Every structure is written in structure tokens, then in C-alpha cells.
Structure 1
């Protein structure tokens, strides 16, 4: 065969598509097939609470599993699909795409290697998917249904009451999931007769048929009611979790239990097939079971739900702060009460891994917190997410979370917090304005002016200085240099009164950027070098150090001191890679290429420019064309051909 084999397993909810696909996958791997790689994802095509999984995000996860470093993963879906096909071309791999919404969702997730097998499950026909072999899965036959009932509830018990067993099969409509769950309850109730259970199932049959997606609700009820009280409570609360998957730590916070107790309860739910686990330490509810849990918890006392939401929002808000701290990002600690101990993130690697797992949940958390009235948790989580998005060059994400944070802060009646969120929004608009001239700088200035009003009116000098610093950034981008220096100077005065060394150093850096724009490189260095001296401490904010070191390298470059420029740029590049600052890495590589070119190292220059272009392309950054041009035509470059600029510190 010269093409990948694609099998589409189709049928109604609860018919056993996922179980069949997983069973087939396990048997194939156990037999020695597809040993190179196995990839599995729940595409959430029919989740009542969350949108279908974004194919681009799925491709990112697949590429990570294939060993592609995060900074090398392209930004666009088409490029990710191309890289995925390339990485899978010579592999013997099995790909399971579970719960697909439609053909479009899975088209880019199919590898091109002829040694690959793709199994797709969906409730919807995938007839429009080229090359796919459809396999329609219907309900069990009566014999198959009785066999499943016997295997779970016990052969002797079922054969002793054949008429009642036939009734159970009929009332469950021979649906495998309904039969399995009903049989599990029968097994847990040794005193029950089969006729008694058949009567119970019969009572809910019409309701189940009429409920569409809830067609198997009576079976879910039977399974749920067979759980111990603690597991029942936890299962209900899982309906309140804001994201599509969760850890034992998050569930412990949600339920107010210890991590050990939460883990034990989760294992029980796994045994009863009320949870799924696709990778170690992460759990998820099936689409229908999530809806079921949400309906159950909706019947609980409001105080119980409010307490659970307070615990989980607090846990995420404090945990993301701990992650920032572990990554040497200086941040204001949350003011929301720390109801449950945050995730233990005491190392750089642990923080990066936690953020990779929880980033989607954190955005869902913001929405859930805001909708539930926990506005302080929403804007404080948004403040943390803004830093992560902004520092990695993900401007669209930074805009979105800043807008959400500003709205939550407004509803909380916290004017300084609203001002700071608007300042963050304005900062991002200013960054967009540098790369895509247009209305962005006007939008940035409007945000900053409003932020100054909010923070100045509230009388909070610290927050006022924060937004004055942001206003200086915007004014500098608008070439209003005198006004920018005034704004930075006002911020510096406040920080000096407070003794905030980190922000004093950052503001000196920003003042240096204005002198740089005026082409006074000596005066720029007169602020940048002291800035680094102030900031360069073991507890320093890693991103500020990256910015200042890069700025010094640029100033030395345009002063013609190429060896000094190379020394500082090398440090910037190493830091950017260590802390995952992809945009800064791209900027640094572009500058490194210029330095090598100025020193006569043409081969090294082309290599750096090429790497820079690749990273810019992944970020969908317009500077990709500039970097690519320099790599393709190095002889056309001169020391002043590029637009040189410095970055301000937030």
C-alpha cells in the first residue's frame, strides 16, 4: 500500500465506538504492530460544555509527543500539519482520533506515511473524508448483549433468570454502554434479583429515549448511585471543573480533600468507567458524563457549589503565580484567599510542565470565575496569563485575556486593577503597532490614558507608576520622545520613593530606549548599563534581564563595538532559550546575524538569520520576511540596513 490506512468508526453515542477503537489499538500494538508511535486524542466533537478541539492545538500536542521542541513548532495550522506529516512519513504509527466533530476537524491530523493506521470515531458520518473506510457500528445483537451481561454480573446469576435478563437487554436497547453500566450495578447489589433490576431500568426507558444526548441517563444514574458517598460527591463536583481535563491536585482543591483522597476517588471512578485517563496524572470526563455530572451538581445546595468554585478558582490563581515565581518572573502575589494549597511548583521544569498542561484550563478558569462572580480570581489569573502570552509573542491571546481581566476588575469595583489590565492591553496594542502600523497605536494610547485616570484617581501610587511606565512605552512608539521621558520620569520618581529596585532598573532601561530612538547611543548606554547592574541579581525577573541585555547589545552594535555587542547578544540568546521566550529568541538571532555579518562571519550570519526567520514565521510575525531576505541575500546587507530598535520593560 502507498497510502495511510484510515478507518472511520461511526455510530450513535454509547454504542461502543471508543471502546472498540481502543481495544483494536491495544491488540494491534500487543501483536507487535505500530511500535514506533501511538497517538491518541479526544477531539470533543460533541462536548456540551466545550468547543471541539482545535486541530491546530492537537497538532501542537502531537508534535510535542514526537519530540519537537516548543520553540520549533510552527504557529499556523497548515505549517503544523506539514511538519506532522513530515515527522510521521517514515514511522510505523497508530493514530486514534476519538469523538470527531466532522471531516474538517480530522483532515490535517492524518499522517501521510503508508505504514500508519488512523482510527477515527464519530457520531457523525465522515463520508466526505477522502480515502477513509467507513465502519458503521450498531447495537449489540441479543446474544452479544447477554454475553456482556454475563461477563460483568456473573454467568450463573444471568442464566438463572433468562426472561428478566432478556428484559434488561431490551430496555437497554442493546446499547453496550447502557448494558455495561447496568450490569456493573447488578454486580454491586448481590441481594437484587434480575426482575427487580429490569423493572428499574424499564421505568426510565421512555425518558432516556426522549432525551436525545441523554438517552442513557438512567444507566448513568444506576452507575452513579452505586458509588460510595465520597465518590458520588466528587463525581458531581467534577461538573464544575472549568477545563476539559484535570489533575488530582485540581480535584483535591475542588472537593476540599487531600491529594491522596482525591487520587483514590479518581481511581475508583476509573474502575467504574466514569472517567478516562489518556496520560499519566491527567483525567477527563467523557462528553455525556460531563453533562450528567453538571446536571447533578446543579441540584446541590448553592452554598456547596459556591464553596467548591471558590476553592478551585483560588487554587488555579495561586498555582499560576507559583509557576511564574519558579520561572523567575517577578509578579504581584494574588490577593484572593488561598483556600487550598497551590500546586507544588518548586523548579523551572515543573513550572513549565504545569503551565503546558494547564494553560487551556486557566483560560476556562477565567471565564468560569467571572460568570460565577469570582471577579478577583478572574482578573488576577488574567494578569498572570497576560505575562505568559505577552512574553512569548502571542499578542492575540494577550489582548483577549487583558480584555477579560479589565472587565472582571471593573465588575469587582477595583479601579487600579482595571487600570493595570487596560495598561497591559495598551502595551500589547503598542507591540502590534510596531509591527503592523495603523490604528493600534491610537488604541494603545486610549487604553493608557484611561488606565492613568483609573489608577491616579484611586490614589494608588504603585499602580499609577505602572501605567505611567506603559504610557511612556506608547508615547515612545509614537515618536513623542519628550512626553515619553516625562512619563517615564514620573514613574521613576514613584519607584524611587517606594524603593522598588526591580522597577527602578526597568524604568532606567526604558529611558535608555528613548535616547536610543534619538540615536544618542552613549546616553542610551548611560541608562542601560546601570539598569542591568540594578537588575542583575539572583532573584531578578528573567524577562527584564533578557530585555536589558538585548538592548545593550543593540546600542553597542550601532556604536560599532561589535565584540561587546556579540558578548551581550550571546547572553540574551541563552536566556531566551532557557526561559522559553520565543519572540526574544527570534529577535536575538536576527541581531546575532547582523553582528556576525559585521565581523565578516557570513556563514554564521546566514545561519542565525535563517533560524530567526523560522521562529518569526512560527509566531506569524511580519519580521519573518526581513530575516528571510537577509538570509537569502546576505551580500545586500549593511550594518544599518535593518531597523534597529530596543524593547521596553513592563
Structure 2
């Protein structure tokens, strides 16, 4: 079975009633999976005389374990499924033939009930190998000699059934489990019918195993015992598809170690004794494209590779979604692939359908199985704009405790509505995220804006706490009382790690807050992250955050914050080498500060402008700007900015040998201030500048000691750029002292760090290494 005639499943190779029923199911799939209700109506009209047929009667035609079928009804159903008359005659003949076999007990000694192995089965090489290895593993490892149970678990539409069927056929073809193959659809998630009772499945299995009806016990426990007895010593494969839970499966498992049970479920079956879970994820892009080509035609896919890639992307690499899209293409030969890609882009869940089959109802079945509190959590995840979530983030969204949130996320993972790629972090598949957003819109919270507001507030407060822990200077407008409910970061590394893990969520939340018009949190999020961005040299992210923040401050009519953000934006442009943009930002900030009468702010703008002028080579102008800033910084609470002006004025004098003594004095004064106020990053910069000055004065040993101190501090700060600068300087010292191997080692380490942050100075490190080779 499984061969096709002109694309239509061919019944002529079925060997018994079970295979005939499975072939009918495949024919229904070929026809686009019309509902049983519509099929009953259409088949009833084709009977002679026409009569009303119930959906339940049609369901029975497709139910495994049947001994007899109504021939006229089968023919009417086949016609209703769109088979031409020659094909109908083949189905009629096959139905008559398998009825004859049933009268004499079927094919001798073999009970083969496996569904057809589709010719479009694609990919899953590693997953298939793991299943086969688990089924055939030697028991010489001391493990208990028991039945092998493999549970294939995953989200709706991920291809669990197809993998299980394919693995079963591969094992049988290899000569394994040749005595008995039994199959049951347990209907754990069915839109039209309730889950199958285990007792009914046991009855059907016992009939297939040759037990006369009158000898089958009435009770479930007795039937389970007889089932285990009949399979004792036999090489049997039992395929249990679409299980609702462990209880539905438990009594359908034989005891003999010669048996294999393959179970598929959307729900975790980890509590089942002796089970080996096999988590099934979505396809790779290559697998999705292969499936698309197998169904829609390889030449067609090859003609429009970009559109084909878009189709699989919009399908989220979900096998069911890809197969539905491919079936739509197959039925629309005039459509260019780009047409379907555009439809999927605009419609997504609605557009992923073919005939009577659609993706949304498949997903909604999983959602509807949840209790209401868990449904609410799933809907609220539709408000979260970031790529993943944590218990803390979810707790903020739902206004519950972190423990409650973690329990809910774990339960959603057990339902395979979430994945947990790393401990403590949970992800929604793109298409499930769309469903969550749709459900959130359809069943909104009492205040629809509240979930995002709560999430944004939590991100601001936690970001503030983390920024304080990494000693972010000038957290303008973010008073400590705003962060009263935020986590407390004891260690610098913990705070920096939090930013590393949450940077994509923070970016998404900031963008969502900007779209929602939450102006203040938008710029607060930018302020909280600014020092992190500098440490990690995430300049593009820094630029995006600052631009969003500047628009928000302007919209909020907050000139003080606008000036602060302009200064920060100028710093981003300076670090990226865009001096014109940097200077314009500094001048705008200076004008705003003057209008506000804010001398400290004006000084900060002058310092930043002086840095730009120094890089332009306008040394006297740069010195004047730093000196002007110092004249404004007379208050005791401005010492940190005063130290910054001193350090930057000293840098101006590097190329002026006669000014170096006063420059070194300025750096030492700045270094002492930075240490007093706990500004460790600028302390590291000051150490590097002292090293540079002593190197210029040919005091190599002193210079080397300052570079080593700078490197140690930068390493503690996890600041790759400053550490690379220290290593670059260390290499220069070793080269000047004629220690070439030490110089190469330092430059090599510096190069690795420059490359890690994709810094242009990597080219200088390579030049040094090439010159030294």
C-alpha cells in the first residue's frame, strides 16, 4: 500500500481490512480532509436511493478495527471524495476482496495495521536514527528487560504521526517486529470526537489478535491482562497516535521485552513508566524546502527560490503549515510562488489552509484543552513583544508571583505550546505567537494596555537596578524609589549577564512602548542600557535605543532629558567615527542646556564636543572646550565630570612633548577622582592614558605596569574594548623592548578581542602581527 495512481491513493495493494480502512483515511487526506459532516451529506446524496447519512456513520467507515463495511456506503464516500469512475471500481473491488479475506481470518499469522508510509515523508534523519536506535538497542547494559516505549512529543502540526509511521515501517522492513503491528488513533486532540476509551482500543486489539468477541472480558483491567498475555513472546509493534495523557496509554502497553510501543502526543508523557521521550521540533529550512518541492514540484520551487524561502519562513518551518501551503500550490498551477508568499505574509494563520484543512483549528484544539488560568497566561504572552520570556517577565505580564508564572510556563511546555531551549527561558513558535496575539485581542484584559504597561515598568525598574550594579553614571530621571520592586543585583557580573540575556527583550519592549505612546519608559530604558551598550560595544543597538528615546523625550516636551539623550547620541556617533553627526548632537545639547540654565549639563556637552575636535585634529579648540567645561564645574557634586574634562584635556597634549608633565598631572588627578566615585571604566581609561604617556617618555617598565593594571581592571569589567587596548599597548611595549614573542602573544590576544566586538582596530592589530612575522 502507499503507491499512487495519478496522485490518488491506490487500494489494489491493500492486504486486509485494516489496510483498506487506512487507505480510505489516506484518500480523505488526499481530498483535503473534508469534515465528516460535509462528507456524510455528500455521500448520502450519492446513494441509490439517496438518504440522510449521519456524521457518526461516516466516522465508522474510517475507524480501524472494523470487520465489515457497508459496500454501498464505501462507494458513495469514495465518489464524494472526488475519485473518478475507473478509480471507484478499483475501490469497490478492493473492498469486496478484503471482506472475503476477513471471512477466512485474513492473511495467515500476520496482523499488519500500520497506516501508509507517505511518499512525501521528508527529513528527520537524526530523529529517525534515535528512534530506531532506541527500538533496537541491546539490553546488555544491565537495564531492566522490559518493553520499549518511545513517546514522540511536540507541538501541533510538527509531524509526530508521520515520523512514527515512517519509523514503524522502517523497522518492519528491516525484519523487526514482524509478528504483529497494531495501530490506534487515540483522538487525544480531535475537533469532532472525544478521546478514545482505552477499553474500546483493547477490544479492537484483541479482536485483531484473534480473540472471539464472546471471549473478550468486559472490564478494562481484564482486557489489559489478556492483551499482555496474547503478546507475550511475540515481536509486536504497537503505534498509539495522538494520545491525550499517560492514563489513556498505560493499559495499552504490553509487558514483553520483544515489543515496541510508539506513542505520539501534543502533551508530555514523561510520567509514563519506562518511557523514552523524543522531542520533535520544527523543520530546518532545507527540510521545509524539500517538502515544498516534493508536493508542489521541484522545478517550480527551483524557479523561484527566494519566494519558496519566504513561504517556508512564513510557515515557521512547521511541517503541517508547509504541507498545506504546498498543497495549495499544487492545486493552483497558475500561481507564481511569490503570489502565495504575499498571501501568507498578509494573512499568516488564516492563509495557511487548503480545502477543509487549516492550521488555526489545529492550534486552537491545544489551547482549548487548557484550564482558564492557563489560557489567560497563553493569551498574555501575545502581549509580550520579545523573542522569549522568563518567569519574572511573565509574572509582570500577568501580575502574579514568579513561582506561579514558572509553574504556568512549565505546564504550557508540557502541552508543547512553549519550548525551553535553555533553562529558565521559554519561547513561543512564531505561529503560536500569532495565535496568542489574536486570542489576546479577542478576549482582552479589563484594561487592554495594562499588560504592556506592567511589563514595561518591570523592565525599567529591573534595568535601573542592573544599571546601578554596573555603575552606570548619570541615570537621569530614574530615581531609586522607582525601582523599589525590582530585583537586587549584588554582583557586577550578575547585572551585566542580565543585560546580555535580556537585551533583545528590552529592545522589543522599548519599541512596543514607543508604539503605544509610553514616552517616559522609552527613554528610561535607553538610559538604563547605555553603559551596557558601551561595555559590549553594541553601537547599532545603542543608536536605535537613543533615537527612540530622543523622539519620546521630545514628544513628552522634556527638554532636560532631550539634552541628556542628545549628548548620549553624540557619544554613539563619535564611537562609530561619525564626527559630523556627533558634533551636531553636542551643539544641540549645549543650546538646550544653556536655555535651561544647567551649567553641569552644558559642561558635559562641551566635554563631548572637545573630544570630537581632538579627533578632528583641532587641538587648541579641543583644549579650550575642556578648559571651559572645567570653569563651569565648580560644585562638589560635579567632580566626576571634572575628572572627565581633565582626562580629555590631557589626551589633547599627548602629541605635545612640552605639555606632557601637566597632562600626566591632569590624568593622576582624574584617576584619583574616578577611584573616589567608583567609576571603574573611566579609571581603566585613565590607567591606559598614563601608560601611553610613560611609553612616549620611553619609561617602558612603568608603562607596562599601567597597561597590566588597565587590563586587569578591564577584564573584571568584562569590557573587551578596553582590555584589547591594554593588550595592544602591552604588545607595543614588548616590541620596543625587543621581546618579539611576547609582543606577538599580546597582539594576538588583542586581535581576538577586537574581532569579538567587530571593532575596526582589528585591522591595526593584524598589521602589527604581519609586520612582526
TM-score (norm 1): 0.65
Is residue 425–residue 444 contact of structure 1 (8 Å, CA) maintained in 2?
Answer: yes
Match status 1:491 vs 2:629 = yes
Offset at residue 136 of structure 1 (A):
13
**1:564, CA displacement in angstroms?**
1.4
Residues 493 and 347 from structure 1, CA distance in 2 versus in 1: closer, same or farther, beyond 3 angstroms?
A: same
CA gap 1:300/1:462 in 2 versus in 1, 3 angstroms? farther
Instruction: Measure how far apart 1:160 and its partner are.
Output: 11
Q: Which of 342, 349, 354 is the equivalent residue of 2:486?
A: 342
Whole-angstrom CA distance in 1 between matches of 2:688 and 2:760: 20
In structure 2, the partner of 1:5 is none
SS at match of 1:577: helix
Give, in whole Å, the separation in 1 of the partners of 2:605 and 2:427.
Answer: 41
User: Residue in 2 aligned with 1:471?
Assistant: 609
Q: Distance in 1 between matches of 2:565 and 2:616?
A: 21
* CA distances 1:328-347 after superposition (whole Å, capped 9, x unpaired): 33351663884883244322
- Residues 287 and 147 of structure 1: CA distance in aligned 2, closer, same or farther (over 3 Å): same
Count of aligned positions: 482
Asked if 1:146 is matched to 2:290, the reply is no
Match of 1:328 in 2: 471
* Residue 401 (structure 2) aligned to one of 252, 258, 281: 258
Shift of 1:618: 3.6
Structure 1 CA distance for aligned equivalents of residues 502 and 389 of structure 2: 8
Does the CA contact (< 8 Å) of 2:186 and 2:195 recur in 1? no
What residue in structure 1 maps to residue 176 of structure 2?
none
User: Per chain length, whose mean CA-contact separation is higher, i.e. which structure has more relative contact order (CA < 8 Å, sep 6+)?
Assistant: 1
CA RMSD, Structure 1 to Structure 2 (Å)? 4.2
1:604 & 1:209 partners in 2: Cα distance? 58
Residue in structure 2 matching 1:514, options 624, 633, 652? 652
Determine which of 664, 678, 684 is the counterpart of 1:525. 664
Residues 364 and 155 from structure 1, CA distance in 2 versus in 1: closer, same or farther, beyond 3 angstroms?
same
C-alpha distance 308-567 of structure 1, shift in aligned 2 (>3 A): same
Alignment of 1:112-511 (within 5 A): 146-147=185-186, 149=188, 153-156=195-198, 180=242, 211-213=350-352, 215-301=358-444, 304-332=447-475, 335=478, 338=482, 341-433=485-577, 440-497=578-635, 499-511=637-649
The verdict on how the C-alpha distance between 1:247 and 1:634 changes in structure 2, with shifts beyond 3 A counting, is same
Indicate the residue corresponding to 1:598 in structure 2.
Answer: 736
CA, structure 1 residues 488+226, in 2 after alignment: closer, same or farther (shift >3 Å)?
A: same
Write out per-residue CA displacement over residues 231-250 of structure 1, whole angstroms, 9 at most, x where no aligned residue. Answer: 22221111111211111011
User: Is residue 570–residue 586 contact of structure 2 (8 Å, CA) maintained in 1?
Assistant: yes
Q: Aligned-pair distance for 1:528?
A: 0.2
How far 1:630 sits from its partner (Å)?
1.9
Partner of 2:254: none
Please report how far the alpha carbon of residue 393 of structure 1 lies from its aligned counterpart in structure 2 after TM superposition: 3.1
For residue 596 of structure 1, report the CA deviation from its aligned partner: 1.6
Quick one: structure 1 residues 223 and 351, their matched pair in 2 at CA, closer, same or farther if it must change by over 3 Å? Answer: same
Q: Would the alpha carbon gap of residues 589 and 228 (structure 1) be closer, same or farther in structure 2, given more than 3 Å must change?
A: same
Structure 1 contact 315–340 (Cα < 8 Å) conserved: no
Q: Which runs of 5+ in 2 are unaligned?
A: 1-31, 33-117, 138-153, 170-181, 205-240, 249-346
Offset of 1:154 from its aligned partner? 4.9
User: For the residues of structure 1 that align with 2:520 and 2:121, how far apart are their CA atoms?
Assistant: 43
Q: Which has the larger radius of gyration?
A: 2
Question: Is 1:622 the counterpart of 2:760 in the alignment?
Answer: yes
Q: Please name the residue that 1:40 is paired with.
A: none
The DSSP-based 3-state class of the residue aligned with 2:405 is helix
Quick one: structure 1 residues 21 and 276, their matched pair in 2 at CA, closer, same or farther if it must change by over 3 Å?
farther
1:616–1:335: structure 2 CA closer, same or farther, 3 Å change rule?
closer
Find the aligned partners of 2:691 and 2:548 in 1 and give their Cα distance: 36
Contact kept? 2:670, 2:686, Cα under 8 Å: yes
- State the match for 1:644 in structure 2: none
2:514–2:552 Cα contact (<8 Å) kept: yes
> What SS class does the counterpart of residue 442 from structure 2 fall into?
coil
- Seen in structure 2, the aligned counterparts of structure 1 residues 518 and 303 have a Cα distance that, compared at 3 Å, is farther
Give 1:316 shift: 1.3
Return 5+ residue gaps in structure 1 as ranges.
1-11, 34-97, 100-120, 123-133, 163-178, 188-207, 434-439, 636-650
Query: What whole-Å deviation, never above 9, does each CA across 1:478-502 have from its counterpart, x for those lacking one?
Result: 2333333343234334443252332
Structure 1 residues 210 and 265, CA, compared in 2 at 3 Å: closer, same or farther? Answer: closer
